[in-house]
Amino acid sequence: MVFEKVRAIIAEELGIEEEEITLESDLADDLGADSLDAVELIMEIEQEFDVEIDDSAAQNIKTVKDIVDYLENIA
pLDDT confidence bin for 74, thresholds 50/70/90: confident
Dist CA 19 CA 1 (whole Å): 15
Q: Hey, where are the domains in the chain?
A: 2-74
Dist CA 17 CA 36 (whole Å): 20
Phi/psi at 67 (5° precision): -65, -50
34 among known catalytic residues: yes
pTM comes to 0.92
Q: Classify domain 2-74 at the CATH topology level.
A: 1.10.1200
Which residue in 26, 29, 30, 34 is the catalytic one? Answer: 34
Q: pLDDT digit string (tens) for 15-31?
A: 999 999 999 999 999 99
* Beta bridge pairs of residue 63: 26
